[in-house]
Structures are given as structure tokens and as C-alpha cells.
């Protein structure tokens, strides 16, 4: 029960990802450079520490690895000593192992595997704690509680890791773009969250999503840009908001070529959501990591 209660603050991330899966085509994460080992490490963070504790916080990670390893050892001891029903334990282990392998061998760390496995992981932890000596049980619960409350502190503190890594200030970005744009200006974006917040501020905006293919981008230019007398175009580029940077590279090049051809000049650049650990993360994550998660470019025609 304690494990389940401590899991609740982190569980909302699982439900958030589930909503994304049901509402769209899926939710994907970029795999780490170390492949399946990196995916297993990601599983460890999602199950034990939660995403609010940075993987670069080495003291917290070291303590957590030791504690959770001891709990799993106690679980296996209870299994082999028959204090835990063997059939139930084998079923739990096979279910957890199967979903973990699916995540480890896949190209993306998919939350659907985490959601399918999280309850069984919590059961294993509970059984592992119950099979420890009485004094050890108390120590383990205290350490887990400290780690969980530290995760909650990060969640509600301005310096917390979760906010810097997974949440963008879309309200501020949308407000800035709304102020800078006029009724006849065109706004182009490449992440749907921006459109949601912009519509909350001004539902009569002229915002267009940048397509994911070159042909669709050409059609967007032909149907929405070339047929109108436009004096200003605002491009909201968010390469770190859920998609790979290279997904829109060719499409952005097409847009920039059209802007240059039609005498649009870049008059303003505004950065949002600076990632202070971008350089450090490049050592472990197999993708380009710009310093800012979102950049707003404003082009004007002279």
C-alpha cells in the first residue's frame, strides 16, 4: 500500500502518455546511444525514481540502484524459499520481463510498455520488502520515501528536472506570437501543443501546421502562401517537443527557400525554454540537442 501511494504522484505521467496514445498516432522517445541497455536504464528511472530525478544526479541514482537491487534480491529469496507462491511470482516475472524486452528491443521507449508493467513492478517491490528482515523493511521504506519525496520536491520546484526536460512554456510562446502577429500574418508551427495554446488565446489566428513531407509542404506553400498578399510570416520551430529534429529538416529548408525567393527578411529571433544541460546530454542521447527547445522566427517582406 505504501509503494502504491508513493507511486501515485508519478502515475499521472503514465495517464498523460496514455491520453496521447489514444488521441494520436503514438508517443515516442528517442533511444539512447547505448541501445537496449539505455532502454533498460530508462525503465529503471520510470519505475523507481520517476522522471523528475535527473539521470545526471549521480548520488541519488547510486542510492536508488543499491536499494532497489536489495529489494529485488529479497523478492528472489522469497521465491526460492517458497515464502512467495511460485506460480504467482513466475507469472509476474514473465509479464514484467516480456514487456521490458519489448521496450529494450524497440527503437523507442514506449510508455505503453511502462503502463503495462508498472503495477507488476510495484507488486514485486512490495513482496521484496515484506521478505526482508523487520529492521531492514523499515530502512528500505524510509529510503524509498525520501527518494519519492525528493522527486515530488523536484516536481513542484522551479528548478525541477521534469519541467526542464519535458514541459515547454507554451502559454508564454503562444502569447508572444499572438502579440507579434497581425490579422493578415501567417503563423507556421511544427508541434501541435503550440496550436492548442494559441487557440486558447486567439481562435481566429492564421496558424498552419508544417507538414511532415516535402510534397505536402509544397502544397501548403502553393495554396496558403503564394495566393495571399502576406507581409509577415512567423515560424515557431520546436524540435525538442516530441519529434526528432531531422523529421522537419527538409520541410524547413523548403520553407526557407521560398521565403528567400520571395524577398522575406528575418527581422527577429526569440528563444524559449533554454536547456542548460544540452551539452551534457549530447554525450548520451543520439540526437542533436539545440540550446533552446523552441525558437520563434519572424520574417517580414520589404
Average pLDDT of 170-177?
89
Beta bridge partners of 265: 300
How many Å apart are CA 45 and CA 60, to the nearest integer? 11
- Pairing, β 264-274 against β 292-301: antiparallel
Strand partners, 209: 189
Whole-number Cα distances in Å, 44 to 41, 197, 276, 294, 301: 5, 33, 24, 29, 52
| Average pLDDT rounded to a whole number, residues 41-58 | 67
| Mean pLDDT computed over 12-41 | 52
Which whole number is the average pLDDT over 38-59?
Answer: 67
Show the CA angle centred on residue 42, arms to residues 238 and 288, nearest 5°.
35
Say whether pLDDT at 234 is over 90.
Answer: yes
Average per-residue pLDDT for the chain:
76
Residue 157 pLDDT: 65
Residue 187 banded pLDDT, cuts 50, 70, 90: very high
- Least trusted range by pLDDT, from 43-52, 69-78, 237-246, 250-259: 237-246
Checking if the pLDDT of 34 tops 80, the result is no
Contact present, 245 and 140 (Cβ < 8 Å): no
> Is the pLDDT at 220 greater than 60, yes or no?
yes
Give the other-Cβ count within 10 Å of 96's Cβ. 20
Percent of all residues in the chain with a pLDDT value above 90, rounded to a whole number: 12
**Alpha-carbon span 252 to 237, nearest angstrom:** 9
More confident residue, 154 or 208: 208
Q: How far apart are CA 207 and CA 79, in angstroms?
A: 59
pTM score of the predicted model: 0.50
DSSP string, the chain: -HHHHHHHHHHHHHHHHHHHHHHSS----PPBTTHHHHHHHHHHIIIII-TTS-TT-HHHHHHHHHHHHHHHHHHHHHHHTTSS-HHHHHHHHHHHHHHHHHHHHSSS--HHHHHHHHHHHHHHHHHHHHTS-HHHHHHHHHHHHHHHHHHHHHHHSTT-HHHHHH---HHHHHHHHHHH--TT-EEEES-HHHHHHHHHH-TT--EEEPPSSHHHHHHHIIIIITTS--SEEEEEE-TTSSS-GGGGHHHHHHHHHHHHHTTEEEEEEEEEEE-TTHHHHTTTBSS---SEEEEEEEEEE-
Give the CA distances from residue 137 to residues 20, 29, 73, 121, in Å, rounded to whole numbers and listed in that order.
Answer: 38, 35, 13, 17
pLDDT band at 64 (very low <50, low <70, confident <90, very high): confident
Q: Is 166 exposed, middle or buried (0-12, 13-18, 19+ CB in 10 A)?
A: middle
Q: How far apart are the first and last CA of the chain?
A: 66
Amino acid at each position: 500500500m505504501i509503494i502504491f501511494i508513493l507511486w501515485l504522484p508519478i502515475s499521472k505521467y503514465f495517464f498523460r502518455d496514455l491520453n496521447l496514445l489514444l488521441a494520436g498516432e503514438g508517443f515516442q522517445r528517442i533511444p539512447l546511444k547505448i541501445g537496449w541497455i539505455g532502454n533498460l536504464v530508462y525503465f529503471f528511472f520510470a519505475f523507481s525514481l520517476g522522471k523528475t530525478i535527473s539521470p545526471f544526479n549521480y548520488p541519488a541514482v547510486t542510492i536508488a540502484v543499491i536499494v532497489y537491487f536489495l529489494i529485488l534480491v529479497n523478492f528472489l529469496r522469497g521465491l526460492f524459499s517458497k515464502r512467495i507462491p511460485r506460480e504467482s511470482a513466475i507469472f509476474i516475472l514473465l509479464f514484467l520481463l516480456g514487456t521490458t524486452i519489448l521496450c529494450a528491443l524497440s527503437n523507442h521507449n514506449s510508455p505503453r510498455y511502462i503502463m503495462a508493467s508498472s503495477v507488476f513492478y510495484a507488486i514485486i517491490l512490495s513482496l521484496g520488502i515484506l521478505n526482508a528482515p523487520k529492521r531492514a523493511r523499515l530502512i528500505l521504506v524510509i529510503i524509498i520515501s525520501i527518494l519519492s519525496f525528493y522527486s515530488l520536491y523536484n516536481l513542484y520546484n522551479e528548478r525541477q528536472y521534469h519541467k526542464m526536460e519535458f514541459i515547454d512554456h507554451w502559454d508564454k510562446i503562444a502569447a508572444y506570437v499572438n502579440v507579434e502577429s497581425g490579422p493578415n500574418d501567417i503563423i507556421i508551427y511544427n508541434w501541435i501543443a503550440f496550436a492548442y495554446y494559441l487557440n486558447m488565446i486567439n481562435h481566429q489566428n492564421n496558424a498552419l501546421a508544417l507538414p511532415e513531407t516535402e510534397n505536402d509542404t509544397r502544397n501548403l506553400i502553393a495554396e496558403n502562401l503564394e495566393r495571399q498578399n502576406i507581409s509577415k510570416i512567423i515560424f515557431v520551430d520546436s524540435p525538442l517537443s516530441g519529434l526528432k529534429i531531422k523529421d522537419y529538416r527538409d520541410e524547413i529548408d523548403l520553407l526557407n527557400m521560398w521565403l528567400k525567393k520571395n524577398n522575406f527578411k528575418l527581422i527577429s529571433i526569440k528563444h524559449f525554454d533554454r536547456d542548460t544541460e544540452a551539452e551534457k546530454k549530447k554525450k548520451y542521447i543520439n540526437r542533436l540537442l539545440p540550446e533552446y527547445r523552441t525558437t520563434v522566427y519572424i520574417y517580414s517582406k520589404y
